[in-house]
Amino acid sequence: MGGSISLTRRLPELQKQAGVEHIATEKQPKLTQYEFREYLIFQMVQFISAPFLAILAYYLIVPSNTTNAVALAFTAGFASETILLMVRSIVNKIYPNSRSGPQYGAIAGVVTLSNKDESFEKPAQKAEVLISESPQIHSITDEKGFYILGNVPVGEHSISIKYTTQVNNKLEERTKKDTVKIERAQAIVKKNVVLTAENSTQQ
């Protein structure tokens, strides 16, 4: 029971960290599908090993009565994840990891629509902003032209802004590209973009 409680407590946390909308923090980093699968297997192992740890604890401590035995079994099962993590940390010290995990930050800003002579300027609504090399990381600007891209790996990236503008009474889809660099993990980089419209009507 203790192992199952530990398992059901951890699974929602892992699913949240592997979700697209999760913004990475130091305590809850973004998990890739490979990392999520690894953690999931680890949780299954701790659940399976919980009864064996309880049996081992019983024979090591030899509780005096049934109540103490039940309490010991539950505690051993609930602590199975901690015990396995201790074992894993010892193994990692023996076989150190050659690389650190991926680091993430975020990009946020305002997209503005302007004509060539800059006689008017307004927020670009419903423009799509995405990371060119990772199109799954994308955002749609709101009524104020604001966007935010979360879980962006540290480094330099190319961003694409797709928008629709009216040219000679016809709607045309345009794409503007820019670059942005995230220097360190958990940093939120501000990136404002000005788009060009032929006429003053933007859809």
Domains of the chain by residue range: 2-94, 104-197
- To 5 degrees, how large is the angle CA 74–CA 56–CA 3? 35
- Mean pLDDT along residues 141-155: 92
Distance CA 128, CA 124 (A): 10
Do 108 and 190 contact (CB within 8 A), yes or no? yes
- Mean pLDDT along residues 125-145: 93
- Mean pLDDT along residues 114-133: 86
One of 3.10.580.10, 3.40.190.10, 2.60.40.4130, 2.40.40.20 is the CATH number of 104-197, namely 2.60.40.4130
- Farthest-apart Cα atoms in the chain, separation: 89
Residue 176 has pLDDT above 90, yes or no: yes
Give the confidence band of 41 by pLDDT, cuts at 50, 70, 90: confident
Instruction: At 187, give phi and psi (nearest 5°).
Output: -80, 140
